[in-house]
Every structure is written in structure tokens, then in C-alpha cells.
Structure 1
């Protein structure tokens, strides 16, 4: 079973506006995007988020800041990012959010005449040590809670990133997010890496794409959406419909319904809290 959700949208300044649309479309959850200023950990009202979730019968996942770089060579910068993740884990625990989505930074590169050198590759021991420390701290903070930090593909994994990814996946609190649009615009280079680790796939970002553009309305690009959605169903993965406007989201939901991939859930009576389905992308 695929549980569908939506992202927090730029056009909505308040979580309740997002929740109203989420419930109207029969979706199960909202992915809180911490790139937006109103969704920073120190500005969020946990009580309000919990109340909105209860009122509209939804739950949350969390998308960390895309600039996140827990292995930055500047220790103060890295420490700030690690503290942000720790705050997000505590928020996820409070909200019963089952997924924290993160990007894996490639870091700075030097462009030499004959090749591009990534500093995380050149100074790989430091990079791996920092990520190992991050992994262990997250593992300790999450403990036995049903929270998974899912690493999202962006524009093709470098070899040093794959080594780091496998090291993170040594911990049970880490998993994978497959962003199908990112993979498509990158020429399909991420999918083999995901499929080689498919038992750790917990989360997906779905949107259509062509060779130049992603985050398109479902059905507007040239991707084999049925194939990707079959993968989501086989893995019991959650799926964020990651289009960027309310109009595009409505159109994408219509496509899913028309192609028999989605039956909207009925909003429960006011005051009845929906919790994430245990076993959906949780391995339990």
C-alpha cells in the first residue's frame, strides 16, 4: 500500500492551509520543508502542528534543509547542522513523524584542467569520520523510536557518496528516499544505486519530468510513472506528490485516481488523530 502525501507549498504561509488541502484531496500526510523560514525548528509551534494534525486527520514527515552539510570541514558549521538534525529528531518524536528526509551534500569541488576534484573525496578520511560520528549520534538519539532518516538522491551519486551512504545504512535508523524526477533528469543514474539497496527504500518523491525539467504534473513528462509507482507499492513506500503548486497537486491527484493508483482517504471526524500505518516503509 502506498500512503500519499504533499509538501508544504510556497503559496501557503501557514500549515493549516496545507492541512486543509491535504484533507480535501484525501492525502495522508504533509512533508514539512525546512528550507522555508516559517518551518525552522526554532520557529515551529509543536503544539499547533499536533493540533492541526489531529483536526484534519493527517500526520507529518520532515524534509531537512537542502543546504545541510554535517561533514563541513568547518567544525562550527558542521556542529550547527548536526544540532539542527537533533532538533528535527526531537520534533519528529513529538509529532509521531516516521520519516526525516535529507540530502547528501557533495560539498565543494576544485575544477582542475582535466577533472573535477571533490574535497570530500580528496580528504575522504575526514569526511567519513564526520559522517560516522553523525550516524552514531542519530542512532543514539532515535533509539527504538519509529523514525527513519531517509537519504534522497539528487543528481547522481559520486563514488565517495555511495561509500558514505553504505556506511550510514549500517545503522537501522537510516534508509533511502527515491526522488524519481531527480533520477530521470539525471539520466537514470541514481536508480541502479537505489535498486541495489532496495530493501532500505522507505520513502519516495514522485513528480513527472523530462530531460530538462522535473517537478512537473504527473502525466506531463515522459517518465514511466507506472513502473516507479509499482516499485513504491512493492516496497510499501510512502510517496510525496512533490509538485510545487496547489493547482499542480490537484492535477497530479486526478492523474493518480484516473490511473487506479490512488483512492483518496476519507477525512476522519474532527478530533480523531490519524497515525502513520505501522509497517509502511518501516520494516515492521
Structure 2
């Protein structure tokens, strides 16, 4: 079997309410979203989180800020994002959080008459050096802990992001998240990349989708959910039911309960 969790929801700003719903739905963990003000490192109360986890018999994973860009050319900006990750690692180790989820920023691009020019492509070595430094810094902070920083697919990996991914996966501190809905909406562009590295796949974001719509409740879109559920089971990965409303989450949890044993 696999552990199944839920994201923090805009409808439930209090962590106790998220934890209570998680337990009620028979899920095992809540993924804290650091885009929300109450889940910034200066706001996170490890004691309160620990009490909620113990009370409801759950645990937490953490989704780092989607704006996170440790490769920004402004060193003060890059240092602030890296510091945020290091402070999150410290909190995660205190709470035995197994996964931090993050995106690789594609950075800024210039739109020329005939093409887009990504600045990280144009200044690739500088970009990759920042990724190396980030990897080493996180490795040192994570130490012997089993905590993984899982890189999530989004809008299709660029060449320079693939190089960055290889650099990060060269460390046991880093792994992969597979968001099946995002991948569906880009016609499965990232799926071969992830499948070829399935031994490093620890985490799934699981939601239904159509070509134009993401984050739908399971069973209401076009995705072959059974295929990816079997894949998650093979990888012994955690699965976040990443719908954005209480109603959508309840429907997804019901679908998962009905189909998990058949996968």
C-alpha cells in the first residue's frame, strides 16, 4: 500500500481543520503549501504542527514556494530563497517530514521576433553553477536524515532544466515528484523523463485533468488514472490528492478508496 495525502486548502486556513479532514477521509498526511502566509518559515509553529499530527494520527510534507528561484542572478534574491529552503529543512527535520516538494524555475526569457531566449539558457554555466551550490548546501543541511527534496514537473522541462535535474539527482538528498495532471496538459512531454528515472520517484501529485483544465477531482477528467496509480504503487511513492476544494478532495478520496485495491 501507499500513503495518500491532501494539500492545505484555501477553505481551511487553520492547520487543525486540515488535519481533522485528513484523518476523517482516511488519509495519512497533509502537504503544507508555503505560498500561503501561515506556512512561511517565520510563521510555522513546529510545536503546534507536532500536536496536530499526534492528535489526528497524521504527518506532514511541505510544498516549497512556487516562486522559489535559487538561481536568480541577483545574489541577494538567490540567497533569500536558499535561506528559506534551509530554514524549512530545519523545521522538517524537527517534525520528521519526509518530503519537500519544489519546482525548478525557468527564469526570465526575452521574446525576440522569431523565438524566446531563456536567460538561463544564454548564461547556462552560471545557472548550473548555482544549482551545484544549492545541491551542496542542501546536502550539508539535510545530513544523514532521510529527508528528500523532490523536484516536480510543471510546464515541460527545458534543456537547461534537464541538466539541472541531472545535477540534483546526483545527490541522494534529491528525488522526483510526478504531477500527472500537469503532464497531461502538455501532452505527456515530461513522462519519459520521469519514467527513465523511476528509481528516484518518491512523490506524486494526483489529480484529473482535461487538455485545458487542471486539478479536477479524480474520475472527472481524461487521465488514465489506473495506469498512474499502478505506477505509484510500483514506486512505493506517496500520493497527494491535489484538488483545491473540500468537495473536490472528498470526491478524489472516494475514488481512491474505491479503486486502490484494484490497481
TMscore range, shorter length:
over 0.9
Distance apart, 1:124 and its partner CA: 0.5
Q: Distance in 2 between matches of 1:41 and 1:76?
A: 18
Q: Distance in 1 between matches of 2:127 and 2:31?
A: 29
Q: Deviations over 1:227-277 (max 9, x none)?
A: 011100000000000000111000111111222449xxxxxxxxxxxxxxx
Two-structure CA RMSD over aligned residues (Å) = 0.9
Secondary structure, in 3 states, of the residue corresponding to 2:60? strand
- Counterpart in the other structure of 2:27: 27
- Counterpart in the other structure of 1:251: 251
Please state if 1:77 is matched with 2:84. no
Corresponding pairs, count: 262
- Counterpart in the other structure of 1:168: 168
Q: Deviations over 1:25-60 (max 9, x none)?
A: 010000000000111010111100001000100000
- Counterpart in the other structure of 1:42: 42
- Counterpart in the other structure of 1:266: none
Structure 1 residue ranges without an equivalent (≥5): 263-284
Distance apart, 1:77 and its partner CA: 0.2
Structure 2 residue ranges without an equivalent (≥5): none
Q: Distance in 2 between matches of 1:140 and 1:261?
A: 40
Give the TM-score, by structure 1 length.
0.91
Secondary structure, in 3 states, of the residue corresponding to 1:259? helix
Q: Distance in 2 between matches of 1:255 and 1:87?
A: 36
Q: How does 1:102-141 map to 2 (within 5 A)?
A: 102-141=102-141
Secondary structure, in 3 states, of the residue corresponding to 1:5? strand
Please state if 1:155 is matched with 2:144. no
Which structure has more relative contact order (CA 8 Å, sep 6+)? It is 1
- Counterpart in the other structure of 1:202: 202
- Counterpart in the other structure of 1:63: 63
- Counterpart in the other structure of 1:226: 226
- Counterpart in the other structure of 2:92: 92
Q: Distance in 1 between matches of 2:13 and 2:215?
A: 20
Segment of structure 1 superposing worse, 110-119 or 171-180: 110-119
Q: Deviations over 1:86-131 (max 9, x none)?
A: 0110011011000000000000001111111100010001100111
Q: Distance in 1 between matches of 2:129 and 2:161?
A: 13
Q: Distance in 1 between matches of 2:198 and 2:261?
A: 21
Give the TM-score, by structure 2 length.
0.98
Q: Distance in 2 between matches of 1:56 and 1:71?
A: 38
Please state if 1:54 is matched with 2:54. yes
